[in-house]
Amino acid sequence: MSYFVYVRISRDQAGTGQGVSRQEAACKRFAEQRGLDVSETFTDNDISAFGNKGRPAYREMLTRLENGEAEGIIAWHVDRLYRRTRDLEEIVDLVEKTEITVRTVEAGELDLNTATGRLTARLVASIGNYEVDHMIERQRLSQTARALEGKFRGGGVPYGYDLGKEPGTLVINETEAEVVRDMAAELLSGTPVLTISRKLNKAGIPTKTGNKWLTSTVRRTLAKPAIAGKADHHGEIVAEAQWPAILPESEWLAVRALLSDPSRRTQQGNERQWQGSGVYRCGKCGGRMGIGNAGSRASRVNGRKKKAYLCRDCRSLSRDQICVDELVDAVILGVLDMPENRLMAANRDTTAGEDVAALLSERNALTARKNELGALYASGTIDAAVLASGSAQFKQDIDRLDKRITAARTVSPVADLLLSGDELRDRWAAMSADKRAQVIDALVTVTILPAGRGPRFDPSKIQIEWKAPPV
């Protein structure tokens, strides 16, 4: 009967597998010197013995040992097999069932058939438990210390950055940073997160890991404090970061508040496809117009059936979608082309007269006082009840300020359009249907009036009323 060799390494940063190869060679030399036959090697590369990652090769080996396919295991050291007592007990049970032998290059044969041998193994495993727990504790303390110093704690590098030359620092990746700025601008101007993710994928822009963008990826990217130059620990901002910000703090706070607004979380199938759907009104009953196929079977554009706006309520009025949209576009852009009308259109649905700098200053002061409260608790000056009460009040005040900052910083789709200046028409063409719908709804009321029968489109039967009269 032969032996199985088991090899494992916790970290293979180079991805070459050299660590496990060296272990395998040592185990096979060990077997050869003792006249033992090795039938198979089981390898778990870049997998910790105490992490949450499974060890598939290890599990397969135990199953096959239980089936009697080998008489024992050869490993480089016992810590390649287990670091936790619960893992040892699994091997002890297997030895009792199958009478297999466990041998190691560094520690010799593992005696699990006697009470004394099992006691020794359990003591070694207990020490391993302690070492693992102590290592995790040190890592957590180190991460906390780095965060408090404004350093990068490690893990995945945030989108928009690369690792800096100095430990704990990041440098801006300008290509990715521009994508972050564009995403933030789109979100603040009313573009749904789903639309943002689809535009990125259509443009062939990958995520940090080279995958396609999901709505969750966009949200996580924009919600990270790192892009505002903040260091956080467990989601709590604890220091100014030792790397430059991609977004101004006020803009990031506005973005974060929008992302946390539950009313913005829509299902993937609900994205608006037509600018007038739900915006244009029926001239017969006053209901909202929806979208449907045009009546004539011969009505096709580029091989696709033409669309028409249909009243959702009375269902007795319809109009060609392309003709209506082109007319509405021409009227709105024609008015906004005139500089004297842009001031009229610049009214935004935001809080007027807010001093953003003063709001940020107040927020920073509250955050500092909240952190001081934590320091007082750590020093034993105050108890947990006072800490909880004070922290809750500070959080409430900070949340209130965040809402005011969001209202002051959020840019309406109208403003987004007007800021494009001479490129106004190009910007309009590039806008999503949902964004154009918001502009239309903010500026005008479009009513589709009843018209006579016939294929000819009559512009006079489309009533466009400005909510704030142009010059």
Q: Are residues 252 and 276 in the same domain?
A: no
End-to-end CA distance of the chain: 96
- Residues 6 or more apart in contact with residue 374 via CB below 8 angstroms: 387, 391
Q: Which of 409, 428, 454 is the last residue of a domain?
A: 409
Q: Per-residue pLDDT tens for 69-106?
A: 999 999 998 888 886 778 888 899 999 899 899 999 98
Q: What pLDDT does 389 receive?
A: 87
Phi, psi of 230 (to 5 degrees): -120, 140
Name the residue with tokens 């101004």.
248
Q: Are residues 322 and 440 in the same domain?
A: yes
Report, in angstroms and rounded to the nearest whole number, the Rg of the chain calculated over CA atoms.
Answer: 33
Helices within 152-206 (DSSP H only)? 174-188, 193-202
The dihedral over CA atoms of 264, 269, 270, 275, expressed in degrees to the nearest 10, equals: 120
Query: 124: part of which helix (H) or strand (E)?
Result: helix 115-148
Whole-number mean pLDDT of the chain? 81
- pLDDT band at 368, cuts 50/70/90? confident
Q: Are residues 185 and 303 in the same domain?
A: no
Q: Are residues 166 and 280 in the same domain?
A: no
Q: Are residues 110 and 50 in the same domain?
A: yes
Kindly report the CATH number assigned to the domain that includes residue 239. Answer: 3.90.1750.20
Q: How far apart are CA 432 and CA 417, in angstroms?
A: 12
Res 3 pLDDT > 90 = yes
Res 325 pLDDT > 70 = yes
Residue with the bigger pLDDT between 108 and 471: it is: 108
Asked whether residue 152 is assigned to any structural domain, the reply reads no
Q: Strands 307-311 and 318-320, how do they pair? A: antiparallel
Residue with the bigger pLDDT between 217 and 191: it is: 217
Q: What pLDDT does 180 receive?
A: 96
Q: Per-residue pLDDT tens for 148-185?
A: 777 887 778 999 999 988 888 899 999 999 999 999 98
Say how many domains are in the chain: 4
Q: Are residues 420 and 312 in the same domain?
A: yes
Q: Are residues 100 and 11 in the same domain?
A: yes
User: CB–CB of 183/218 below 8 Å?
Assistant: yes
β-partners of residue 110 are 102
Q: How far apart are CA 251 and CA 181, in angstroms?
A: 10
* Percentage of the chain modeled with pLDDT above 90: 34
β-partners of residue 233 are 236
Q: What pLDDT does 19 receive?
A: 74
Q: Among residues 7, 5, 37, which one has the least CA distance to residue 19?
A: 7
Q: Would you state the structure tokens that stand for residue 316, as one six-digit string?
A: 């007795």
Q: Are residues 417 and 384 in the same domain?
A: no
- Residues 6 or more apart in contact with residue 197 via CB below 8 angstroms: 213, 214, 215, 217, 218
Asked whether residue 453 is assigned to any structural domain, the reply reads yes
Looking at this protein, which amino acid is placed at residue 288? R
Helix then strand then coil, in percent of the chain rounded to 5, is: 50, 15, 35
Phi, psi of 275 (to 5 degrees): -65, -25
User: CB–CB of 20/7 below 8 Å?
Assistant: yes
Question: 93: domain range?
Answer: 3-134
Looking at this protein, which amino acid is placed at residue 290? G
Q: Strands 289-293 and 307-311, how do they pair? A: antiparallel
Q: How far is CA 115 from CA 82, 183, 287, 418, 435, in A?
A: 19, 64, 84, 82, 74
Q: Are residues 461 and 401 in the same domain?
A: no
Asked whether residue 276 is assigned to any structural domain, the reply reads yes
Res 236 pLDDT > 80 = no
Helices within 34-114 (DSSP H only)? 56-66, 78-81, 85-98
Q: Are residues 76 and 123 in the same domain?
A: yes
- pLDDT band at 461, cuts 50/70/90? very high
Q: Are residues 326 and 461 in the same domain?
A: yes
Q: Are residues 280 and 391 in the same domain?
A: no
- pLDDT band at 260, cuts 50/70/90? confident
Q: How far is CA 418 from CA 131, 279, 346, 348, 357, in A?
A: 62, 21, 7, 12, 24
Asked whether residue 328 is assigned to any structural domain, the reply reads yes
Asked whether residue 232 is assigned to any structural domain, the reply reads yes
Helices within 321-455 (DSSP H only)? 321-336, 339-345, 356-378, 384-409, 413-418, 424-430, 433-443
Asked whether residue 117 is assigned to any structural domain, the reply reads yes
